[in-house]
Amino acid sequence: SHSAAAGNFGAKERTLIAVKPDGVQRRLVGHVVQRFEQKGFKLVGLKMLKAPEELLSQHYHDLKRKPFYPLLLRYMSSGPVVIMVWEGHNVVSTSRKMVGDTNPAEAHPGTIRGDFSIHISRNVVHASDSLEGAQREIQLWFNSNELMDWDSCDQGIISHV
Ligand code: UDP
Ligand code: MG
């Protein structure tokens, strides 16, 4: 295909980004969306919900034995979250950099956590940490008919399609 010839296999890479309950409460949804839009990624899914405990336990299945796990689930179910899927070249690793270190005290200024949070238990956003993790989380939070396959007019300028 054209994109394969251009060496652009990763252009359709997707990741899951969430604005956590503290981010929603603090009116940071628009700001987070704006950062990803301005970076050049494409929004392909978005919804707001109060996350059921079962969904959260699947989402954080790898953390079940951590001491902070019960408080994490309480935090994540304390209010609505905004869940998004973003698409574009290298989006998984690039969005981890945009989000910053898990601990806001370590997150660099210029990252979302570095700019908007001070404590690890209230760090505003989630981002998938690997390609496999992203695929798993996207399937967990979205039905396939909730994900939009659309062409943005600036795609060839931003991403060398
Ligand atoms: N977390 C926490 N205390 C900790 C470590 C993590 O409350 O000591 C929370 C925090 O909200 C973090 C989430 O658990 O974002 C998931 O942890 P993970 O290590 O996967 O960090 P992330 O991938 O979100 O950077
Ligand atoms: Mg994680």
To test the ligand 1 pocket, which listed residue (72, 83, 93, 102) has its Cβ within 8 A of the most ligand atoms?
A: 102
Angle at 114 between CA 67 and CA 104, to 5 degrees: 15
Within 8 A by CB and 6+ apart from 24, the residues are 48, 79, 80, 81, 82
Question: Could you tell me if residue 109 is left (phi over 0), alpha (psi between -120 and 50 degrees) or otherwise beta?
Answer: beta
19 close to 141: Cβ distance less than 8 angstroms: no
Cα 128 to ligand 2 centre (Å):
6
| pLDDT above 70 for 8 | no
In angstroms, the CA 126 to CA 146 distance is 19
Closest atom of ligand 1 relative to the 121 alpha carbon: 7
In angstroms, the CA 55 to CA 104 distance is 25
Closest atom of ligand 1 relative to the 62 alpha carbon: 20
Query: Which candidate, 133, 110, 140, 157, places its Cα nearest to that of 13?
Result: 133
Cα 91 to ligand 2 centre (Å):
15
In angstroms, the CA 75 to CA 83 distance is 15
The ligand placed nearest to the CA atom of residue 69 is 1
Query: Which candidate, 92, 134, 99, 21, places its Cα nearest to that of 29?
Result: 21
Q: What is the dihedral of CA 153, 133, 19, 75, to 10 degrees?
A: 170
Give the pLDDT of residue 11: 79
To test the ligand 1 pocket, which listed residue (71, 72, 129) has its Cβ within 8 A of the most ligand atoms?
A: 72
Cα 156 to ligand 1 centre (Å):
36
pLDDT in tens, 83-116: 999 999 999 999 999 999 999 999 999 999 999 9
Catalytic residue flag (residue 31): no
Phi and psi dihedrals of 101, rounded to 5?
-60, 150
Find the mean pLDDT for residues 18-29: 98
Closest C-alpha to ligand 1, atom 22: 102
Give the pLDDT of residue 161: 59
pLDDT in tens, 28-68: 999 999 999 999 999 999 999 999 999 999 999 999 999 99
Establish whether this prediction's ipTM goes over 0.85. yes
Within 8 A by CB and 6+ apart from 152, the residues are 42
Q: Give pTM, 2 decimals.
A: 0.94
pLDDT in tens, 110-160: 999 999 999 999 999 999 999 999 999 999 999 999 999 999 998 889 987
